[in-house]
């Protein structure tokens, strides 16, 4: 891109329009589309697959200990413990690729984050059930920046009262930001699908208090 002034373009100008809200009411979800080039996204996918300390997730559901097929990892500024799905995890210290992606997401979204939860879905048989990210350790109404690499997957929202749904296909290298009252009024999920046979990595940058 040729810039005809000394001033550097900010990320919004490089990317074009500021995104519009995907939700009709009760919260704000901005989809920015890919925030890196395709090549950069391929490289991030490979380094995340290689360098992240992936582990199968554990959850207590109806009193039973479940080991998920999906793999997860959690990184943060401090070795804080974080509770979700009735289990407690200790955060790992940041690694370079995650610090780089955190800076990219902060710059694109105009928000700051102090932790990141990563998910690795090996294929379309793995997904995530309806939930909202409103654990007590999370900053209330704080922004959650969700960055996706690898296979394109559909991501859905469902209004807790009206049951209205809204869906968006999340592209390789794309950023989606959930903020405001989204977690109070809406659930979200990653539905399983038979048509996806390749892996996807998702990073959700969050603020733990």
Binding site for Fe ion (CB under 5 A): 133
Q: Is 190 in the site for ligand AKG (CB under 6 A)?
A: yes
Residue choice 76, 150, 188, 196 for contact with ligand AKG (CB under 6 A): 188
Select from 109, 113, 108 the least CA-distant residue to 133. Answer: 113
CB-based contact 29:176 (threshold 8 Å): yes
Half-sphere exposure of 161 (CA within 13 A, CB side): 5
**CB 73 → ligand AKG: shortest distance, Å?**
11
**CB 7 → Fe ion: shortest distance, Å?**
37
Q: How far apart are CA 198 and CA 30, in angstroms?
A: 26
**CB 186 → Fe ion: shortest distance, Å?**
11
Q: Is 186 in the site for ligand AKG (CB under 6 A)?
A: no
- DSSP state string for 84-129: ETTEEEEPBPP-HHHHHHHHHHHHHHT---SEEEEEEE-STT--EE
Residue choice 36, 115, 183, 204 for contact with ligand AKG (CB under 6 A): 204
Q: Is 30 in the site for ligand AKG (CB under 6 A)?
A: no
Which spans of this chain sit near ligand AKG (rule: CB under 6 A)? Answer: 117, 119, 128, 133, 146, 155, 188, 190, 202, 204
């Amino acid at each position: 891109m040729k810039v005809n002034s000394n001033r550097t373009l900010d990320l919004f100008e490089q990317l074009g329009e500021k995104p519009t809200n995907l939700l009709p009411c009760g919260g704000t979800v901005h989809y920015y589309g890919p925030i890196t080039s395709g090549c950069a996204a391929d490289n991030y996918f490979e380094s995340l697959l290689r360098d992240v300390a992936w582990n199968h997730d554990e959850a207590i559901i109806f009193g039973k200990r479940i080991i998920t097929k999906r793999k997860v990892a959690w990184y943060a500024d401090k070795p804080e413990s974080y509770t979700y799905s009735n289990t407690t995890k200790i955060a790992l210290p940041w690694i370079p690729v995650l610090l780089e992606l955190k800076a990219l997401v902060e710059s694109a979204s105009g928000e700051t984050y102090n932790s990141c939860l990563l998910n690795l879905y090996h294929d379309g048989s793995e997904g995530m059930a309806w939930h909202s990210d409103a654990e007590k350790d999370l900053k209330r109404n704080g922004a959650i920046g969700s960055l996706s690499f690898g296979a394109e997957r559909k991501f859905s929202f469902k209004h807790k009262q009206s049951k209205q749904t809204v869906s968006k296909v999340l592209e390789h290298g794309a950023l989606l930001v959930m903020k405001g009252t989204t977690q109070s009024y809406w659930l979200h999920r990653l539905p399983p699908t038979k048509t996806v046979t390749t892996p996807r990595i998702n990073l959700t940058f969050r603020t733990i208090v």
